[in-house]
A and B are shown apart, each in its own frame.
Chain A
């Protein structure tokens, strides 16, 4: 459990790691807005490539990343497949026309536009994933909290992020121990041998003590924090949040430009009734 987090607790030492939390959180938010607003491959693809480079430059733990990538790819492919099954002519809505390549029967037809739409959607979802992967692999929870704080989120909410991460390993360890003690007393944990209702009952058996031990420490932790002045002021500073370097300033400037562009794009393309809903190279108008 301990080392199996994707997010680093210990700050890394590559270029992206060294950016401040503020910079990273802002860039992340801007990129998410950017990816979310658009279905235009010409806008999405560059982000996909850049974030992929970002992830590679951060030298993550490849074994984990590969595993997660394959899981995500699998689920997204499945999702895309289900999308197709749900409506094979969905491309018409997006591209305004249908060009048939062939068909299986009257329902399962093969229009180019549908495939194009599904392809773009897949890339969009993968880019979305890449953006978060880049973010997770280069930030620490404390920087995350500091970055949120810099966006004006109340610090009590930011504390939830860092404090939550602090106690995840402890809770996971408790979970493991409780499970062991139940197994030794004869609770069958093998998924194949038990029915769903039975498994739900067993989960409750593990959960009750887990919840009680977890919430039992709330008062002690809160006392410890009060004694060190938590909540004394309206504002706070962050130990992990270093002053902006030159690189931070450049990135923040770029983020700002990206953000302004996105706002403009949303107003001009998304809100104003669009001509065509997505850019589609085979539709010439």
Chain B
């Protein structure tokens, strides 16, 4: 029997520091044993909604509440956060922040410690919880030895001993490499099916969540629920494009082929959806395919020759070689800890090879100082907060020029030019702290561009950003690429980015460069995918279902997407 578990009634919430309400007139009922996905652009109020369920609102965030929320029969406004934590287990987005123990076992035990459980009872419960998530052999492991995915699993284990009914995940995939993300979704699904939990997932990456079925999708925009429907219905509506959510790749591919997908085809799952109606269209689509020609580049810019490097004893880079040509767009991909960021630091000269050498424009880069290399090679780190030091946007962008002792006029000219290219000119006198994460990222890019580098290295440029911001940043880079013939290296876990914006992928696994080839070839090679913890995109599954080689389908898809963007 369907039993309501969470009930929002005419619920409105305003943060104390805001003048406008963040959630408006929410009416939502979630039943026992459902699996729900909440979608929506950044700032649409998803996390705020989650905080109302787990009790952080009003416990930790002050504000004004109208209407009511009941969770398992408890009115949350009157309940303590501790009572609610017996009903709702929350896994926060940032697994580094949620991991408070000094070892896996300790972190899983954290809520038991707080509950004053005797140690002998604790040991058993911890082992049980760890077994559920498959971490029982890692109880003594320390946090910085774990990958992002493993940390996520530990966070999950830490909230399931209370026998909670509801599990709440706020962006569980944000920091994971593709293979880890897939494992996480499978694990969540098992908890839903085997342990009979009610599951709520908040996530931007629709395609990845749909790897396992969900019952309902709730779409939010500006604090309101704009759709509450099944995946099949949502995928065939135009809501996704209206609210800036990325459509799964297989659906885009089917659209390119001219197929009109209906909810009755079951588009929610690429493995089971009914494709029989589209035989003709797909055949015609296949006929249109012309294999793309590898781009040729004239001048070799950087040559990495048999480079090895170790921070301590263990080699982090092992005999790595590749070339970079002027004007290329390259994706550097591979699993967590494979040595990608280390390679980026090495290209910038912050660390230098123990063995092997790097040539830049044919001359050995050992003679160049970090400062000189910095002018040529721009490195944009993953976290913009690690790069921003000044109060005012204009000063931030001009900092490096000032340090290079340029005159005021020269600086002004250069800064204004860059700010205009980056669409930041109108905000040049704003404090850095008053802009959004995506804009901060753009400021860091502007600060690097002010040095007029010939190569720009971006470490995880899109992590944690919604599709709208993501597209904004990438089309901007694309523009610079065209205008200034900038060579761009993306370090990324995002296969969509690789597919849509780069020509070549350099794949790292455990310190070795295991492949250097066109993106579509890399993504259709099962062995590389396996070794580098990548994931087969849904295009790969689609290709298998319609009897085409994945390589051809992905190649054709990329070509069409690029044409579409022009």
Contact = CB atoms under 8 A, between A and B. Distances in A.
Given A184-B374, A220-B97, A228-B114, A239 B386 contact: no
A239 B119 contact: yes
A182 B389 contact: yes
B50 to A, nearest CB: 11
Nearest to A216: B385
A186 B114 contact: no
Given A142-B106, A170-B96, A216-B385, A238 B56 contact: no
16 contacts: A140-B102, A162-B101, A163-B100, A180-B348, A180-B381, A181-B387, A186-B403, A220-B94, A226-B56, A227-B55, A227-B56, A228-B111, A231-B114, A236-B113, A240-B103, A243-B119
Nearest to A163: B100
Given A209-B388, A213-B386, A223-B60, A229 B115 contact: yes
Contacts of A142: 101-103, 106
A2 interface: yes
Interface string B1-17: 00000000000000000
Which 10 pairs from chain A and chain B are nearest by CB?
Answer: A239-B109, A186-B403, A185-B400, A228-B111, A224-B98, A184-B374, A229-B114, A220-B97, A232-B82, A181-B387
A43 interface: no
A177 interface: yes
A236 B102 contact: no
Interface string A236-253: 111111110000000000
Given A2-B144, A181-B379, A186-B374, A174 B122 contact: no
Given A180-B348, A228-B110, 9 more contacts: A10-B142, A166-B143, A170-B96, A181-B386, A184-B377, A209-B386, A226-B56, A229-B114, A237-B112
A225 interface: yes
Contact of B103 (A10, A223, A227): A10
A50 interface: no
A243 B121 CA distance: 12
Chain A CB within 10 Å, residue with most, of B60, B114, B117, B399: B114
Contact of A237 (B105, B118, B386): B118
B92 A183 contact: no
A24 to B, nearest CB: 16
Size range of the interface on B?
35 or more
B403 A187 contact: yes
Contacts of B386: 174, 177-178, 181, 209, 213
Interface in A104-154: 140-142
Interface in B285-334: 312
A67 interface: no
A94 interface: no
A209 B85 CA distance: 34
Interface of B: 54-56, 59-60, 81-82, 85, 90, 92, 94, 96-103, 105-106, 109-120, 122, 126, 140, 142-144, 158-159, 312, 345, 348, 350, 370-371, 373-374, 377-379, 381, 383, 385-389, 399-400, 403-404, 447-448, 451
Size range of the interface on A?
35 or more
B116 A9 contact: no
A9 B126 contact: no
Contacts of B159: 227-228
A275 interface: no
B374 A236 contact: no
Nearest to A181: B387
A136 to B, nearest CB: 15
A186 B404 contact: yes
Nearest to B348: A184
B427 to A, nearest CB: 20
A223 B56 contact: yes
Contact of B387 (A209, A216, A224, A241): A209
A228 B102 contact: no
B114 A185 contact: no
Contacts of B447: 185
Interface in A228-282: 228-233, 235-243
